[in-house]
Amino acid sequence: MKSSAHSNNKRLNTKGLRFVVHEHHASHLHFDFKLEMSGVLKSWALPKGPSLDPRQKRLAVAVEDHDLSFIDFQGHIPDGQYGAGDLVMWDSGTYESEGDHRVQLEKGKLSFTLDGKKLRGKFTLIRLSNNIRNWLLIKSHDEFAVTDWKLVTVMRDKR
């Protein structure tokens, strides 16, 4: 969407960057996973939502970057607009990447630690070789992992 003047900074601050997960009731229920990165929100659609169970690898489809102001958005996106439907914040917090997140993203493997209200601990996004937009979001085996974890939605599906 928009570029940032600080995307070329030599010093990279990877502590305290924000993330958000929106529960998105659009044409179908899915979750939007967004990481603050290089002045925008890098975004992935998670058809089944995130998981705290390391055995559950979740498809994450890369979508267009969002403006940073979108991190706090909740509400209704009108019909006819991109992402039309109801959107609520499912989780939010900060994250820290393991190294330069831009380099990791380009290489197709991004490792980071989330500190949210629901999602905590280490996660990895791995790009699949069959499609540049398809990634897997995987929870690491750590003290925040929960075997047989079940996702609970915030809103009731209106359909």
- pLDDT tens string 49-72: 999 999 999 999 999 999 999 899
* C-alpha triplet 22, 35, 104: angle, nearest 5°: 145
As a whole number of angstroms, the distance between CA 137 and CA 56 comes to: 9
Say if CB 96 and CB 104 are below 8 A apart: no
Say if CB 17 and CB 41 are below 8 A apart: no
The mean predicted confidence, pLDDT, of the chain is 87
Residue-level pLDDT at 27 = 81
| Residues forming beta bridges with residue 41, ordered by sequence position | 36, 66
Say if CB 125 and CB 137 are below 8 A apart: yes
Say if CB 150 and CB 136 are below 8 A apart: no
Say if CB 131 and CB 108 are below 8 A apart: no
Q: What is the pTM of this model?
A: 0.85
Reported as half-sphere exposure (CB side, CA atoms, 13 A), residue 13 has a value of 8
CA–CA distance from 96 to each of 24, 47, 64, 158 (Å)? 25, 24, 22, 35
Residue-level pLDDT at 119 = 98
As a whole number of angstroms, the distance between CA 140 and CA 131 comes to: 23
- Residue with the two structure tokens 């006819």: 80
- Give the pLDDT confidence of 71-118 residue by residue, as tens digits: 999 988 888 888 788 899 999 999 999 989 989 999 999 999 999 999
In the structure, what pLDDT confidence band is assigned to residue 158 with cuts at 50, 70 and 90?
low
